[in-house]
Amino acid sequence: MADREGTLRGRVVAVTGGGRGIGRAVVLAAAAQGANVAIAYHDSEAGAKDVAHQARGYGVDAEVFACDVTDREHVFGFIQGAEKCYGRVDGLVNNAGIMPDSPFLEMTVEEWDRVIATDLTSAFHACQAVIPGMLERGRGSIVNIASRLGLTGWPGVAHYASAKAGVVALAKSISREFGQRGVRANCVAPGVTNTDMGRTVMEGEVGRRRMAELPLGRFGEPEEVADCVVFLLSDASSLLIGQTLNPNSGGLMP
Ligand code: NDP
Q: How far is the CA of 118 from the centre of ligand 1 (A)?
A: 9
Amino acid 228: pLDDT: 98
Tell me the chain's radius of gyration from C-alpha atoms.
17
The protein residue whose alpha carbon is closest to atom 25 in ligand 1 is: 21
* Structural domain includes residue 199: yes
Could you give the CA distance from residue 234 to residue 227 in angstroms, rounded to a whole number? 11
CA 64 to chain CA mean position, Å: 16
How many domains is the chain built from? 1
Identify which of 24, 26, 95, 206 to mutate to test ligand 1's pocket (most ligand atoms within 8 A of the CB).
95
In the three-class reduction of DSSP (H, G, I as helix; E, B as strand; rest coil), residue 15 is classed as strand
Q: How far is the CA of 52 from the centre of ligand 1 (A)?
A: 18
Looking up residue 30, the CATH number of its domain turns out to be 3.40.50.720
Establish whether residue 157 lines the binding site of ligand 1, counting it when its CB lies within 6 angstroms of any ligand atom: no
Domain span at residue 115 reads: 12-245
Strands 183-188 and 140-145: parallel
- Of residues 19, 14, 22, 167, the one with CA closest to residue 78: 14
Locate the ligand 1 atom nearest the alpha carbon of residue 19 and give its number: 9
Query: Is this model's pTM higher than 0.95 or not?
Result: yes
Establish whether residue 251 lines the binding site of ligand 1, counting it when its CB lies within 6 angstroms of any ligand atom: no
Amino acid 237: pLDDT: 98
Strand runs labelled E in the chain: 12-15, 36-41, 62-66, 91-94, 140-145, 183-188, 244-245
* Structural domain includes residue 60: yes
The protein residue whose alpha carbon is closest to atom 33 in ligand 1 is: 97
Amino acid 153: pLDDT: 97
Establish whether residue 70 lines the binding site of ligand 1, counting it when its CB lies within 6 angstroms of any ligand atom: yes
Beta-carbon contacts of 10 under 8 Å, excluding residues fewer than 6 positions away, are: 34, 35, 36
Q: How far is the CA of 168 from the centre of ligand 1 (A)?
A: 17
* Structural domain includes residue 241: yes
Q: Are 85 and 39 in contact (CB under 8 A)?
A: no
Establish whether residue 144 lines the binding site of ligand 1, counting it when its CB lies within 6 angstroms of any ligand atom: no
Q: How far is the CA of 60 from the centre of ligand 1 (A)?
A: 24
* Structural domain includes residue 5: no
* Structural domain includes residue 4: no
Terminal C-alpha separation, the chain: 38
* Structural domain includes residue 139: yes
Amino acid 208: pLDDT: 92
| Number of residues that make up the chain | 254
Q: What is the mean pLDDT of each run of 10 residues along the chain (254 residues)?
A: 72 98 98 98 98 98 98 98 98 98 98 98 99 98 98 97 98 98 98 95 91 96 98 98 98 94
Locate the ligand 1 atom nearest the alpha carbon of residue 225 and give its number: 30
Locate the ligand 1 atom nearest the alpha carbon of residue 20 and give its number: 9
Amino acid 191: pLDDT: 97
The catalytically annotated residue of 41, 58, 86, 160 is 160
The protein residue whose alpha carbon is closest to atom 2 in ligand 1 is: 197
Q: How far is the CA of 136 from the centre of ligand 1 (A)?
A: 30
* Structural domain includes residue 252: no
Please say if 41 is a catalytic residue: no
- Of residues 193, 192, 188, 197, the one with CA closest to residue 229: 188
Amino acid 47: pLDDT: 98
Amino acid 2: pLDDT: 42
* Structural domain includes residue 254: no
